[in-house]
Chain A
Amino acid sequence: MNKKDIKNIEKEMKLANEGLTEKERTLFSDARPSKVDLQNKYFEKFFNWARSQSLWFLGYGTGCGAIELRPLMTSRFDIFRYGIAPRPSPRQSSVFIIGGYASIKTIKRIVRSYEQMQGPKFVIALGSCTINGGMYYDSYYTINRLDHYIPVDIYVAGCMPRPEALIAGFQKLKKMIIAGKCDGMNKYAENFDWYKKNQKKIIKDWNMPDYNW
């Protein structure tokens, strides 16, 4: 492939990296996320217990791991025993399960959904693809480490992990929430520029608002 050819292709595939139009900009908040301070120590303990008892996760399948969520929700494994339920909207959910590999196209939606979730919010990364790329470590369009783009609270290793492993992950997450160790939201707010830099490095056509909640 000669240089002229590459140049031609580049010309034809020009990027629309200009963000939103003027009209759409007014629809979104332009405030950065801010750190939420802890309440009274004893209240916070009670809140943490309450949070751990009703984990609602976002029913968004981002990869092959989403296939494990169906038996989890239905009668075979019945996740509702633990007070965990799927929700259709990011605004109603507190847990985000990243099911396996995430392509750049999906990362864009993941970031947007994550930012729209209301705090406190937790992330479970499922499968080895989210840890170090898994079998897609040399792929041109799937990310290798998820924790460079959104904060991750707990990893469930495996390719694919069984629903039992996911239940074990939820139990571990509950313990961590009760112990007050899951503050991914504050981590995201503190290192916001670093996360945005990493996201913008791979998402070349950034046509969404910088701060979108």
Chain B
Amino acid sequence: MKDILTNLEQNFAVSNIEKKRDDLYFINVEKKQIISVLTYLKDYAEFTHLAFLQAVDRIEENQFQLTYMLYSFQHKTNFAVRVLIKRDNAEMISIHKLWKHAWQYQRELKEMFGINFPDSPRVDESFVLEGWEEMPPMRRDFDTLEYSTKTFYQRPGRSTNDPKKYMEKKLYKDFAKSPVIARKDG
């Protein structure tokens, strides 16, 4: 594993190498080098399996973060390659020639986040949303509650409880004052 990491560092513009677990590594790669890095990992470092490809909307930094999760049956190790791309007119290089099944992930990302993958097969077809007219729903500036109240019929009389207040009022009076709740990380 060490050889692979040093090789990556020497030959590619790789940053933020993190070892999360013994069998889980994260690296950041430039957008231009994604094909060469993935080709190296697939053909030389024996990371032959693309487990998933997903996106995170980092609206504060005006970026999308794409994660390519690879798995090696030889090393028994997960390897995540992260790429940051611009949020406006988001576009990414298609990797369907490295892994055939990547077209399906790319089609989903096109629909849910509006990230375009030119030349990817069937990328314009709808994946889950049939006849969607709004902006891609997984973008964080899409207000789902507003859309839901506008589109679907609400049944009056629905009430909700704020979990923290409910706990303070009813169940665990001492627990609500405990440092776990006060720290707001629970």
Chain A residues in the interface with B (C-beta under 8 A): 1-2, 5-6, 8-10, 12-13, 15, 17, 103-105, 108, 131-133, 137-141, 143-145, 148, 198, 201-205
| Residue of A whose beta carbon sits closest to that of B123 | A12
In contact, B133 and A6 (Cβ under 8 angstroms): no
Taking a contact as CB atoms closer than 8 A, the residue among B126, B128, B131, B153 that contacts A148 in the complex is B153
Q: How far apart are B49's CB and chain A's nearest CB, in angstroms? A: 29
Give bound CA distance, A144 to B137, whole Å: 18
Tally of B interface residues using CB under 8 Å: 30
In contact, A202 and B152 (Cβ under 8 angstroms): yes
Interface of chain B residues 129 through 170 with chain A (CB within 8 A)? 129-137, 139, 141-142, 144-145, 147-148, 151-155, 157-158
In contact, A144 and B87 (Cβ under 8 angstroms): no
In contact, B133 and A144 (Cβ under 8 angstroms): no
Give bound CA distance, A133 to B55, whole Å: 27
Q: How far apart are B126's CB and chain A's nearest CB, in angstroms? A: 7
Known pairs A5-B88, A9-B114, A140-B144; A15 contacts B131 (CB<8 A):
yes
In contact, A143 and B133 (Cβ under 8 angstroms): no
Give bound CA distance, A195 to B147, whole Å: 21
22 pairs across A/B with beta carbons < 8 Å? A1-B87, A1-B88, A1-B141, A5-B89, A5-B114, A6-B135, A9-B136, A10-B133, A13-B124, A13-B126, A15-B133, A108-B130, A132-B155, A133-B148, A133-B154, A144-B154, A148-B153, A202-B151, A202-B152, A204-B130, A204-B132, A204-B133
